[in-house]
Every structure is written in C-alpha cells, then in structure tokens.
Amino acid sequence: MSEGSKGSSLAFGQVVIGPPGSGKTTYCHGMQEFMGRIGRKVAVVNLDPANEAMPYQCALDIAELITLPDVMESLKLGPNGGLIYCMEYLEANFDWLQEKLAAFRGHYYLFDCPGQVELYTHHHALKNVFAQLAKWNFRLAAVHLVDSHYCTDPGKFISVLCTSLSTMLHVELPHVNVLSKMDLIEQYGKLAFNLDYYTEVLDLSYLVDHLASDPFFRSYRRLNEKLVEVIEDYSLVSFVPLNVQDKASMRQVMQAVDKANGCCFGEQEHRSLEALMSAAVGADFHFTSTLAVQEKYLQSQDKAVEEEVMEL
C-alpha cells in the first residue's frame, strides 16, 4: 500500500457519509454482517472521533489517534470546530493511517465518517484523506445516507437534493445516494408522489407546484425554481432505497456500490450473467425493490385509513 506502488493489489471499500442521525453507524454494522455472510472479509474503520458507542466490530478507531472530547477540552472548541480540527489532524498523520490499514490487507473496507455536513460540502481535510487513500490503491465509493423522512416535506427534499449535489461535486468520488430508514417512512406522513418520483428525482417542477400551494413557500417560488434548475441541469442525483433489516434491500445497495467502486469487476467476485449485464449497460435489474417498498407504504396507508373509518 505504499504511495505510487502501481504493482500492489487494489483494495475496495466505501466511505459512509451523511448528516447526523441518517444511520451511518447502523448501516456499517448491517453491511458488515451482510457481507460477512456472503464470504467477504470486512474491516470497519471508524473515522468519527465523536463516535463512542459502536455496535460493529471495529478494526481501526480514530480514537487511538485523537478524540473529540480531548480536543474540545484542551483547545476550548465547540463540537463543530473540534471535528474539523480532528479531521485536519488525521490529514497531518497519514503515516499513522497507512500503517494501521496495512494490517488489514485483503479486506473490504467500510469507513464510518463524521456527521458534520460541512466536512463534505466545504472543508477539504476529509476530501484530501480520500484522495490519499486513492493513491494507496484504494478504490472507494461514497455512500451518502439521507433519512427518508425528508421525502414527506417538499421543502426539505429540495434542500437534501442541493446538499447531495454539493457533496458529490466536492468529495469527487463515485457516489451512491441512499434513502435510509425506508422501513419507517410510513410513520413520517403521506408522500405527495409515488416513491420512484423521489428515488429517480423525476420532473421537479411538480414539486415546485406542490410547494406553491403552501402560503409560506409561495413567495419563494422563483428561488425554488432556480434551485430545481441547478439540480436538473447537473442531472446527477438519484437515490437507492434502503431498509437495513431487509436482505434484498441491502443486496441492492451493495450491488450499486460494487458497480460504483469497480468491485464487481474484481476477479474474486462471482460473475453471474445478471451482474455482468447490469455493470455493462448500466441497467437497473432491481427496479422491483422500489416497487416493493412503495407497495408496503401504500398498504400501511390503506390500513391507517381503514382504522380511521372504523373509529368513526
């Protein structure tokens, strides 16, 4: 894994990013268990200096190098400033990271990253860490988790789209956006459109029209139209639905990430016809997964309506 050693073997993995509470640590735990069952050796690397309760088996913890409470106490910084300092300290200690990662050669890596959004949209420390990993022959894909409850609020969903686009452009890695906690989406409220509208980010003009029906957002219609134009002009943002408790959902996300970081082309992977065709033409042969989630959501909505009618 020495820098510039072209002959060394490739290492594949994911950098799991997203805002606080989006389910990054839960995702790493679930993906570690799922990949372990299919025969992959997985090493989870905790890069969040504020993460103290880790349910997964941690191979490497940034707490061995630096912790957020120590930084906040010694430098009198708040949590946001402390996290930025920790990431800059990690960037300044690449030799420590390289030495620790070398002990897990041959593993598939899951990097559990901090939840501060600014680290992925403005600041350069983590971006530089990812770039250095690429020089060490790591082939990584960014898995950006977004809580699915934002789908129930059109204004928040536009904000999420802008954040996702900004993250994709700043981090500069193959990117997979994931709508997490799909098993809880029916608890957040009724969706204005079908689920595939949100996962595929279809014609957003309908979303602007829906927002205009709210008196508060009516005066911001022009602003919303311009934000939507930026998102649609880049045409980069789409989402994969995820329910960590569902094996089919986990497999769909894993296959999307494998195509993004190139792991599906590795010699150690099973070359099924479906996987090869999906990787070759970019077609999604798992569209039924979104359909299944949508059907479950509609069934829960119908059940809620029936219960209301019975009460009346």
Percentage of the residues of the chain whose pLDDT score is greater than 90: 62
- Residue 303: pLDDT over 90: no
Tell me the C-alpha distance between 11 and 109, whole Å. 8
Residue 146's pLDDT is: 94
Cβ-based burial of 119 (10 A; exposed 0-12, middle 13-18, buried ≥19): buried
Smallest CA-to-CA distance from 56 within 34, 33, 37 is with 33
pLDDT value of residue 188: 77
DSSP 10: P
For the chain, what is the mean pLDDT?
85
pLDDT digits (tens, 9 = 90+) for 177-209: 999 988 888 777 778 888 888 899 888 998 899
Output the pLDDT for position 196: 85
pLDDT digits (tens, 9 = 90+) for 204-262: 998 899 888 888 888 889 999 999 999 999 999 999 999 999 999 999 999 999 999 99
The pairing of strands 58-61 and 138-147 is unpaired
Q: How much is the CA Rg of the chain, to the nearest whole Å?
A: 21
Query: What are the pLDDT digits (tens) for 135-144?
Result: 999 999 999 9
Q: From CA 283, how far away is CA 32, in angstroms rounded?
A: 26
What gap in Å lies between CA 172 and CA 140, rounded to an integer?
11
| Confidence (pTM) | 0.84
Q: Residue 100 above 80 pLDDT?
A: yes
6, pLDDT greater than 50: no
Note the CATH number of domain 11-201+237-311. Answer: 3.40.50.300
Cα(274)–Cα(236) distance, integer angstroms: 24
* CB 227, CB 158: distance < 8 Å: yes
Q: Is residue 140 within 8 Å of residue 173, measured between CB atoms?
A: yes
Q: Do residues 175 and 260 make contact, with C-beta atoms less than 8 angstroms apart?
A: yes
pLDDT of residue 60: 96
Q: Terminus-to-terminus CA distance in the chain, angstroms?
A: 67
Q: Encoding tokens for residue 97?
A: 């990271």
Give residue 309's pLDDT.
Answer: 54
* Lookup: tokens for 22: 């989006």
Backbone angles phi, psi at 137, to 5 degrees: 70, 30
Check: CB of residue 24 under 8 Å from CB of residue 16: yes
Confidence tier at 53 by pLDDT (50, 70, 90):
confident
Sign (positive or negative) of CA dihedral 155, 244, 107, 10:
negative
Question: Residue 3: its pLDDT value, please?
Answer: 47
Residue for token digits 């300290």? 89
Average confidence (pLDDT) over 290-306: 57
